[in-house]
Structure 1
Amino acid sequence: MAGGSDGNTTGVKRPRRRAFKACLQALQAPDDLGESSNTLTTGSQQTTRVPLDALPHYSHVLLVTGAGVSHPAGVPTFTDSGKQAWYGKAKKKFKLSGSGKRMFSYAFFAKYRDDATSFFNEMAKTVRRATPTEAHKSVAHLRAAGRLLRNYTLNVDNLDALVDSQAIYPRRCDTSGTVLTKLPKRGDVVQLHGNVLETVCETCSTIATLAYPPPPNLSAPCSACGACDSVRHRIMLYDEKAEEAVLGAGVGSTMMRQLAEDAKSADVVAFVGLSFEQSASVEYYRKVRRAAIPGATRLLVVNPDGGLAASNVASATSFDTGVEYVDVTADEFLAHLLNKDVNLSMLDNDAQR
């Protein structure tokens, strides 16, 4: 999803998809071509395919997850080409020139508030029809096993909360919408970009659950402070002007500091379901790469189009070492991390409550 850091990043070079066509064909070459078929050079870097079966058992797992985790649940991605992605839907609905990404900017929201609110309501309806995937359940099992440091998610669908609502950060008081700024606990799912099923008041930061079905617009005064035209969906936008209101005072900076600290103590940091076509995800990779201890923390890009995703991040960063990727789905990767067949019936029951 869009975020403040995404909108503030400039000068990030984006590789053209054509440039990777031959590279992807090389990755799909027969195994008898040897190890060279698993290694590509992108600029001054290499991207290396890591077979899923070659991954060992990890005791301290740090996850950064994106739209690819929730897509199997029926939640569209943002940047995939085609009219079914959120950007494509926005472009068609508002007849935007170029990319529909512009609809997710604060400038668009400020100018066309009711239109943007209507679109976010449609997103909320789609999310309400979705159910957690096997990947969401595997994350919960990793947490229960004490192997998950934290899961930082760029998703705003809140599907993680259907598996275990107590693991969601930032947490809120039971009696009000005030965001608690305590540090996230081990195993927490950290919502970096908010939650489309919640609203927030830009004046007093009160957070509430979005009514269902959602109202045509959110023009009613805030129930806490009475401010008019201040209630909106609690999701981060490009060039966000109200980051403190969306995430809670001090929460945004706390999240970023904690992400860097977690990178120092993780055995593996897996970026799962990210295409790295948005600058926010690239910035998170940069932050983790700078903080991670060389030789002690392994970084993996996990995506069915892993070669392309790894090439995207390699082309947008200036690190000396290459990028490792695993070209499998989020479900497959996270199930493998569990390293055993698991009984998901308990979590299935939790999700139905």
Structure 2
Amino acid sequence: MGDDGGRYSFRKRKRPQQDGSDEVLNQLLELTAACGRLVVFSGSGLSANSGMSMFSTKNGLYERARQRFKIQDGIKLFSYPFYKQRRMDVQQFFAQIYGEAKNSKASPGHVAMAQLHELGKLQRHYTLNIDGLAEVVGMDTWHHEKNPNGITVEMHGNISYVVCPSCHAVERLSGPVMATMKACQPVACSTCHEDEMRFKVMLYDDEQGDCITPEDVFEQLEDDLAAADAVLWVGISFEQSASTEYFRKVRGGTGAGAERVCGGAEDGAPQPTQSQQACTQQALVCSCSRPV
């Protein structure tokens, strides 16, 4: 996506647009402009042009994990059972992902969402991404104790932090810790001194998931859904079990008058889909057509 004198020029998708796409876009624009309390769920499609590797694309994270660890399916590396078996190797692989996140840039979609927040239209932003790019554009991170008014809820954690499964102490990733993990060595917690520090990233079937996403998150989600006028899904394919489970929770928790709008990109698409671009465009319309 590019900025051309205050107007967006969107890269066309190779796949033909489906009939009715213009009508869906117009409905999305009208709906968002009329809503005062939006809950947004975002996935990897939002960061597709930010410099982060996607999971399912060619040379993506799953393929790189499969080749490096000689496993049949690269998704296995992101599971807790595999982490238990090869903890140091997984930490080393995640250290590489952190390097990408550190060098990535916020996308126009991130900026547009921040503008919605500035206008007071964003009730909450729930993200499945671990890149921390929402913080880059000024959307502070929610915490049930330290920052209950934070706007972004990191459902799957943040690759820029490490956490202790024993005492739940959280630390921002430092140079020495990064070097230790790259060397496949354990990192001790500075609070309880257990050598179990791990990246603050949720894994599949994560037995330590409570130190990544506490149950308070879902209590906050219930409150936000009850107050929401609409729920937007941005950059999410609904091909992963987590996203479909969140969708079920939303369907059961939204108020009677709330609208649910899917602007999902396929997980792993190298460029944002037309639907995700539509979400970005409608956000810009809501922000008084200010260029990004």
**Secondary structure at the counterpart of residue 169 of structure 1:** coil
Query: Which blocks of at least 5 consecutive residues in structure 1 are unaligned?
Result: 1-24, 30-36, 39-47, 171-179, 310-326, 345-353
Q: State the one-letter code of the partner of 2:61.
A: W
**Structure 1 residue 71: Cα displacement:** 1.3
Cα distance change on mapping 1:182 and 1:118 into 2, 3 Å: closer
Q: Percent identity among equivalent residues?
A: 29
Q: 1:154 maps to which residue?
A: 128
For the 8 Å contact 1:60–1:268, the answer to whether it is kept is: yes
Q: Show CA shifts across 1:190-240 (max 9, x none).
A: 000111110011111111111237222351321111112x11111011111
Q: Show CA shifts across 1:173-192 (max 9, x none).
A: xxxxxxx536732x610000
Q: 1:196 maps to which residue?
A: 159
Q: 2:44 maps to which residue?
A: 67
Provide the TM-score with structure 1 as the length reference.
Answer: 0.69
**Secondary structure at the counterpart of residue 271 of structure 1:** strand
1:52 paired to 2:25: yes
CA distance in 2, matches of 1:338, 1:268: 17
Q: 1:168 maps to which residue?
A: 141
Alignment of 1:1-353 (within 5 A): 28=17, 37-38=19-20, 50-54=23-27, 55-56=29-30, 57=33, 58-78=35-55, 80-83=56-59, 85-97=60-72, 99-164=73-138, 167-170=140-143, 181=145, 184-185=148-149, 188-212=151-175, 214-215=178-179, 216=182, 217-228=184-195, 230-247=196-213, 252-294=214-256, 296-303=257-264, 328=274, 330-339=276-285, 340-342=288-290, 344=292
Cα distance change on mapping 1:59 and 1:302 into 2, 3 Å: same
For the 8 Å contact 2:114–2:137, the answer to whether it is kept is: yes
Provide the TM-score with structure 2 as the length reference.
Answer: 0.83
Q: Show CA shifts across 1:240-274 (max 9, x none).
A: 11122223xxxx22211222332222221011000
Q: Show CA shifts across 1:263-291 (max 9, x none).
A: 22222101100011101000111110111
Q: Which has more radius of gyration? A: 1
**Secondary structure at the counterpart of residue 205 of structure 1:** coil
For the 8 Å contact 1:271–1:301, the answer to whether it is kept is: yes
Q: Over the residues paired in the alignment, what is the CA RMSD in angstroms?
A: 2.6
Q: How many pairs are equivalent?
A: 266
Cα distance change on mapping 1:271 and 1:92 into 2, 3 Å: same
Query: Which blocks of at least 5 consecutive residues in structure 2 are unaligned?
Result: 1-14
Q: 1:4 maps to which residue?
A: none
